[in-house]
């Protein structure tokens, strides 16, 4: 089995932001030379996430509204007693999850017709990274 490991670095301009990473991940799959396998895309920070869904602006707003409803910013989270102000970002990360595993078939990402891969930032404006690990033959 062959592997390729690369790190993507992000420093978003806003505290919350979605970054479409599909093309970058696809380029790393191509670079790896792997024809059949999997690619893991994983946020290496506890206030960020990675998910696969449609790249449609209305859906993106629906996702933000849903996350805000379930983990609103602003309340006095116990986590804030440590001097932090990002309790909601930790909870949002748990809801979205921190990683996805995407199949690689015939040397390409094997996504559905509307599926795209996103990095979701919930406490941005500082440097963070994502690991991309392509595995297979």
The tens place of each residue's pLDDT in the chain, 137 residues long, gives 999 999 999 999 999 999 999 999 999 999 999 999 999 999 999 999 999 999 999 999 999 999 999 999 987 899 999 999 999 999 999 999 999 999 999 999 999 999 999 999 999 999 999 999 999 99
Q: In angstroms, what is the C-alpha Rg of the chain?
A: 16
Q: Name which of 133, 65, 61, 125 is nearest 104 in CA terms.
A: 133
* Residue 18 host element (H or E): strand 17-20
Number of domains into which the chain is organized: 1
> What domain range includes position 62?
2-72+86-136
Residue 16 lies in a domain: yes
Percent helix, percent strand, percent coil in the chain, to nearest 5: 30, 40, 35
Residue 30 lies in a domain: yes
pTM of the model: 0.95
Residue 29 lies in a domain: yes
Residue 77 lies in a domain: no
43: β partners: 130
Q: What is the domain-level CATH number for residue 94?
A: 2.60.120.460
Spatial distance between the Cα atoms of 72 and 80, rounded to a whole number of angstroms: 14
- Counting residues of the chain whose pLDDT is more than 90, the rounded percentage is 98
């Amino acid at each position: 089995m062959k592997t390729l490991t690369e790190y993507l670095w992000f420093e978003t301009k806003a505290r919350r932001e979605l970054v479409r990473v599909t093309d970058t991940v696809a380029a790393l799959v191509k670079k790896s030379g792997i024809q059949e396998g999997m690619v893991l895309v994983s946020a290496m920070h506890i206030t960020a996430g990675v998910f696969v869904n449609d790249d449609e602006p209305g859906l993106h707003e629906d996702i933000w509204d849903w996350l805000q409803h379930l983990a609103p910013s602003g309340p006095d989270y116990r986590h804030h007693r440590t001097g932090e102000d990002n309790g909601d970002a930790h909870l949002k990360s748990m809801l979205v999850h921190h990683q996805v595993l995407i199949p690689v078939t015939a040397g390409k990402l094997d996504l559905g017709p509307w599926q795209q891969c996103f990095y979701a930032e919930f406490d941005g404006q500082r440097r963070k990274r994502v690991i991309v690990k392509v595995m297979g033959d």
